[in-house]
């Protein structure tokens, strides 16, 4: 085991590679617990020891693959490179499975043959000078298990037995399952496993180097490379068109090398050439931001003198929603973009409401992931309304709140206005989802984290892009387009569901975007509280307060 290896690097085609430290694990499973009839091929369970290697953080995307096509002419006829292709395979097995058009090159290659995948690895090896190949299936399973002893890693990392939503990457076979997703998702749209790899269980199936065999060896193995003879190659991970049992770290199946049915995940071999070449570029670490236009703050005092800090948000303009070409946009409810004038200033919590604050007002803490400085979660809408009402009454009785002021949830217009903080990009820090981990708690799959532990947006708010999804005081509806004024009193739209914003600890990056909207159909009443939903508190300002803040110069417009 070499100590001089970087934990990560970005290769010549811009793909992040993660160092996997070698170790020993139990590969496969005894019997056929999935009931697939293929159980013998991934048994018996046996000990495998591996050396260090680098594995790609993501599956190879169409955009990356096009570089290979442009330089070699190989693979130009892959179906997903055709912008008009919308159907997976017109055969009897999945004739009902219709796929939406992939909107851009950020989507993975998922219908590549093994031979072309090998040529892709050869091309990159020559281009960079380091050795690239497909993973051997032992390497693949080791990384997919990511230190766990289960077929699906989240059963070892989630504290609550229920599997969080959106844990699987895109998959689905409508013949054997009742629900499926239409097409692949951009790499990183679903949570990473504990070692930081995305989409190993789902999205695109993935080719491995090994030949397929009817049974594993029963003796301990070191850096196994599979059988010496055989035609078919190993396919791992499941993906679009797969049944749910294929989304398992130990499941594998055979594939004819010429068949176009899987994608590519790269291994970079740590050999002599790896060390002799120039130093590798590390993944970028952004400089810690400073709030460029911070808002003034006020502090409310809850029972027990527990502080709750709110920022003074002036009236202004926000372009609500996202453009149709924004990376990660998957729902039509983000358009048409609408310019909204927020006509009334308001107060909004710098942080999500914490368990300490909630318990100070309500006397109970319903959260699953208990810590006083983590956001409160597992609250239903009636709980939040009761919290707001009780705090309003407490502050009025103490003489700190005017009659025309009240605590409440923010409207979604107010929420997006404060989240964007004058920006028009996918995130308040720009377009690059690779930087999201510096600003938001997401993809953790171990629960919430302390509020304010990440970096703030330009106005000084924390955790808009993750930790817990945040309830809004708006119903989900279609944006009108054009330009509208939204005073607080016209906050409610017609509709069945309430809006939830901001992504959470158990989502990928897509729901964490500034424009992403979700319906809280499951949180309408006491029946179903979710450990990934909380709230950020707003407060309506009274007229005397507005006049006072204006006199002090605290309501300077932030509109551009």
Do the domains 297-551 and 8-276 match in fold?
yes
CA–CA dist 552, 534 (Å, integer)? 33
The answer to pTM > 0.85 is no
Higher pLDDT, residue 170 or 242:
242
The whole-number average pLDDT for the span 462-474 is 94
The whole-number average pLDDT for the span 266-294 is 73
Give tens-digit pLDDT for 213-261.
Answer: 988 999 999 999 999 999 999 999 988 777 777 788 888 899 999 999 9
The chain-wide mean pLDDT, for the chain, equals 84
Question: For residue 166, is pLDDT > 80?
Answer: no
The residue among 134, 371, 388, 458 whose CA lies nearest residue 266 is 134
CA–CA dist 146, 208 (Å, integer)? 17
Beta strand 233-236 with 206-211: parallel, antiparallel or unpaired?
Answer: antiparallel
Q: What is the CATH number of domain 297-551?
A: 3.90.1580.10
Question: For residue 436, is pLDDT > 90?
Answer: no
Other Cβ atoms within 10 Å of 314 Cβ, number: 20
Contact partners, residue 384, CB within 8 Å, separation at least 6: 409, 471, 535
pLDDT of residue 450: 94
Q: What is residue 458's three-state secondary structure?
A: coil
CA–CA dist 463, 451 (Å, integer)? 7
pLDDT of residue 287: 65
Confidence class of residue 170 from pLDDT cuts 50, 70 and 90? low
The whole-number average pLDDT for the span 188-208 is 87
Where do the domains of the chain lie? 8-276, 297-551
Q: What is the CATH number of domain 8-276?
A: 3.90.1580.10
């Amino acid at each position: 085991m070499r100590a001089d290896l970087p934990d990560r690097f970005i290769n010549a085609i811009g793909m992040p590679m993660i160092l996997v430290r070698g170790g020993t694990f139990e590969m496969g499973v005894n019997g056929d617990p999935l009931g697939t009839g293929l159980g013998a091929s991934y048994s018996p369970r046996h000990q495998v020891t591996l050396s260090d290697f680098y594995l790609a953080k993501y599956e190879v995307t169409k955009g990356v693959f096009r570089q290979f096509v442009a330089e070699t002419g190989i693979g130009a006829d892959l179906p997903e490179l055709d912008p008009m292709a919308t159907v997976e395979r017109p055969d009897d097995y999945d004739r009902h499975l219709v796929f939406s058009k992939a909107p851009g090159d950020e989507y993975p290659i998922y219908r590549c043959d093994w031979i072309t995948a090998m040529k892709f690895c050869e091309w990159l090896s020559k281009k960079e000078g380091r050795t690239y190949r497909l993973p051997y299936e032992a390497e693949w399973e080791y990384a997919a298990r990511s230190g766990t002893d289960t077929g699906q890693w989240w059963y070892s990392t989630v504290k609550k037995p229920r599997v969080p939503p959106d844990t699987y990457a895109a998959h689905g076979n409508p013949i054997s399952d009742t629900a499926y997703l239409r097409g692949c998702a951009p790499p990183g749209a679903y949570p990473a496993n504990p070692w930081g790899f995305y989409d190993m269980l789902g999205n695109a199936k993935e080719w491995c180097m090994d030949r397929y065999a009817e049974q594993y060896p029963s003796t301990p193995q070191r850096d196994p490379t599979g059988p010496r003879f055989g035609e078919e190659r190993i396919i791992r991970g499941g993906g679009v068109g797969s049944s749910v049992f294929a989304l398992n770290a130990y499941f594998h199946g055979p594939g004819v090398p010429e068949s176009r049915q899987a994608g590519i995940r790269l291994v970079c071999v740590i050999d002599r050439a790896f060390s002799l070449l120039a130093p590798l570029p590390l993944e970028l670490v952004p400089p810690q931001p400073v709030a460029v236009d911070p808002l003034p703050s006020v502090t409310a005092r809850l029972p027990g003198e527990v502080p709750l800090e709110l920022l003074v948000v002036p009236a202004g303009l926000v372009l609500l929603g996202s453009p149709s070409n924004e990376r990660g946009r998957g729902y039509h409810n983000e358009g048409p973009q609408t310019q909204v004038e927020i006509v009334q200033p308001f107060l909004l919590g710098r942080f999500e409401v914490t368990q300490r604050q909630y318990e100070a007002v309500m006397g109970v803490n319903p959260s699953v992931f208990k810590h006083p400085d983590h956001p409160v979660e597992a609250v239903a809408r009636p709980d939040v309304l009761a919290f707001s009402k009780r705090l309003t009454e407490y502050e009025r009785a103490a003489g700190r709140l005017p009659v025309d002021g009240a605590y409440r949830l923010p409207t979604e217009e107010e929420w997006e206005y404060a989240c964007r903080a004058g920006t028009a990009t996918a995130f308040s820090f720009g377009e690059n989802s690779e930087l999201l981990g510096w600003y938001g708690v997401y993809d953790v799959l171990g629960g919430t984290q302390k509020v304010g532990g990440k970096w703030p947006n330009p106005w000084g708010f924390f955790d808009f892009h993750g930790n817990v999804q945040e309830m809004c005081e708006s119903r989900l509806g279609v944006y009108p387009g054009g330009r509208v004024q939204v005073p607080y009193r016209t906050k409610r739209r017609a509709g069945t569901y309430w809006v939830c914003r901001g992504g959470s600890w158990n989502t990928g990056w897509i729901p964490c975007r500034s424009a992403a909207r979700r319906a809280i159909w499951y949180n309408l009443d006491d029946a179903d509280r979710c450990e990934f939903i909380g709230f950020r508190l707003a407060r309506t300002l009274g007229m005397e307060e507005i006049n006072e803040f204006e006199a002090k110069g605290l309501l300077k417009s932030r509109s551009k």
